[in-house]
A and B are shown apart, each in its own frame.
Chain A
Amino acid sequence: MAMVMIPSEAELITKAQNGERNAFSELVCIHAQGVRNVIYRMCGDPQIAEDAAQETFIQAWKHLPSYRPQTSLRNWLYRIAVNAATDLLRKEKHILPNALEDLQLRDPQLGPEALFFEEERMALIQKAILSLPEASRVVLVLREYEGMSYHEIADALDIPVGTVMSRLNYARKSLKDKLEQSLFVHVEVKHVDPR
């Protein structure tokens, strides 16, 4: 039986640095989901996240020869993605309010009333995240949704670990304050027995 050797990420990077487009496409496949998730959590709009992610990978391709393999490719890509999302948010300030209309619910089997509350709950959470300052939001997104360590976040954003900690503390405290009243009132309403 013929064995198919799957090239490692390091091999793909070397090939892509030498201009091999197929190797770069494989790298795109590996990191597409993460990059789009980060941008989506930053701006709240799936279509804009797709567009900004494309721009991220095009920038990555252009600058790949200057990428140093000592650092993680994921962190390097996230840094480009965060910059792309930040530029986008500065250019198109209308994104955030419209973004909430695009929320997709986890469970479409819910009844109309439950669906309404679920929708409202998701919108509240998303709105609270999007209302955070960009600097804190990106740290929260990388930690909560991408599961990155403080060192990885510091590396991706080129900031000290102490700054990661203080921004994360601020983001979580702000979210707790924002969600504490509105969200937990809705939770209670949601769980009221209709009988």
Chain B
Amino acid sequence: MSTHVSEWLNAYHDGELHGTQLHRVEVHLAECGICQAELESLESLSSVLHEVPAPEFTAPERFAAQINLRLPHEQTKVSRKQILEIGWWMIPVGLLGAWVFIATSTVLSDILYTAHNLGLLSSLSNWLAFGSSNNSYWSATLGQFGVLSGNSLNWAEATESFTRMSLPQISLQVSIALLYLIWIAIWWVRHTRRGSGQLLEG
């Protein structure tokens, strides 16, 4: 005899099983007295529960009239839940916007920096590239005072330049990517939670 189907008997009793799962339970019930008895006890329990009658409430029309007197004049236009829902869907849009902004700023900054080095920028727009040209301020200062020189100065300048320019951009982009992944993970969990009923379909 196959394994007992106790865990599916409630769903079977409630008419919630379909397909292969329903067939499996029916086949098992046809040959298993224990599961048959369990199913009968579920049916008895339902009958017992329905023995408790519902009370006689006020007539629906009178009840509706009582409510009508208490109804406020204004209905809530937009609920807090709706605002939260809109906010939830704005998160990926905001993240994408932030990513586009950072990526554009980086490209523009690189273009200006290159143009500045090549002397292509006019004096008017020089100030635009000034911020990005002064990437190794501390290393240059140490070089001027003779603390650093030669290879160590070059290494310090390169490290400082990387720390000032590239590291913040990389950190920001990684943070945005992580936030986006977290959002997708939460969305997926919510989505699968709602769809978990599929397991009853067999």
- Of A6-14, A88-96, A109-117, A167-175, the one contacting chain B is A167-175
Does A135 belong to the interface (CB within 8 Å)?
no
The answer to whether A61 and B45 have CB atoms under 8 Å apart is no
List chain A residues, Cβ under 8 A from B67.
25, 28, 54, 57-58, 61
The answer to whether A29 and B197 have CB atoms under 8 Å apart is no
Kindly list 5 other residue pairs between chains A and B, CB separation below 8 angstroms, not including A121-B51, A145-B50: A28-B68, A122-B51, A125-B49, A140-B49, A144-B49
**21 pairs of residues in contact across A and B, judged by CB atoms under 8 Å:** A24-B68, A24-B71, A25-B68, A29-B63, A32-B57, A64-B75, A65-B76, A122-B52, A144-B49, A144-B50, A150-B14, A150-B16, A150-B200, A151-B197, A154-B194, A160-B196, A161-B196, A161-B197, A169-B10, A175-B45, A179-B48
Task: Encode contact with B along A118-157: 1 for CB under 8 Å, 0 otherwise.
Answer: 0001100110010000000000100111000111001000
Does A78 belong to the interface (CB within 8 Å)?
no
With a 10 A CB-CB cut-off, give which of A58, A66, A122, A149 has the most chain B CB atoms: A66
Name the CB-closest residue of B to A144. B49
Q: Which residues of B contact A (CB under 8 A)?
A: 7, 10-11, 14, 16, 41-42, 45-46, 48-58, 60-61, 63-68, 70-72, 75-79, 81-82, 193-194, 196-197, 199-200
Given A46-B57, A63-B79, residue A168 in contact with residue B10 (CB < 8 A): yes
List chain A residues, Cβ under 8 A from B42.
172
Contact partner of B53 (CB less than 8 A), chosen from A61, A105, A165, A175, is A105
List chain A residues, Cβ under 8 A from B70.
54, 58
The answer to whether A65 and B11 have CB atoms under 8 Å apart is no
Within the complex, what minimum Cβ distance (angstroms) separates A55 from chain B? 9
Q: Which residues of A contact B (CB under 8 A)?
A: 17, 19, 21, 24-26, 28-30, 32-33, 36-37, 40-41, 46, 49-50, 53-54, 57-58, 61-66, 102-106, 121-122, 125-126, 129, 140, 143-145, 149-151, 154, 160-162, 165, 168-169, 172, 175-176, 179, 183
Within the complex, what minimum Cβ distance (angstroms) separates B47 from chain A? 10
The 5 lowest CB-CB distance pairs between A and B, nearest first, are A161-B197, A66-B79, A46-B55, A28-B64, A29-B60
Name the CB-closest residue of A to B75. A65
The answer to whether A65 and B7 have CB atoms under 8 Å apart is no
List chain A residues, Cβ under 8 A from B60.
28-30, 32-33
Main SS class of interface, A: helix
Complex: how many Å from CA A24 to CA B64?
9
Complex: how many Å from CA A32 to CA B200?
31
Main SS class of interface, B: helix
Name the CB-closest residue of A to B57. A36
List chain A residues, Cβ under 8 A from B77.
65
Within the complex, what minimum Cβ distance (angstroms) separates B11 from chain A? 6
Complex: how many Å from CA A172 to CA B44?
11
Within the complex, what minimum Cβ distance (angstroms) separates A32 from chain B? 4
Given A160-B197, A162-B199, residue A179 in contact with residue B79 (CB < 8 A): no
Name the CB-closest residue of B to A149. B16
Complex: how many Å from CA A172 to CA B14?
12
Within the complex, what minimum Cβ distance (angstroms) separates B86 from chain A? 11
Contact partner of B56 (CB less than 8 A), chosen from A63, A104, A140, is A104
The answer to whether A28 and B78 have CB atoms under 8 Å apart is no
Within the complex, what minimum Cβ distance (angstroms) separates B191 from chain A? 11
Within the complex, what minimum Cβ distance (angstroms) separates B19 from chain A? 15
The answer to whether B55 and A66 have CB atoms under 8 Å apart is no
Within the complex, what minimum Cβ distance (angstroms) separates A174 from chain B? 11
The answer to whether A104 and B55 have CB atoms under 8 Å apart is yes
Within the complex, what minimum Cβ distance (angstroms) separates A149 from chain B? 7
List chain A residues, Cβ under 8 A from B7.
169
The answer to whether A160 and B194 have CB atoms under 8 Å apart is yes
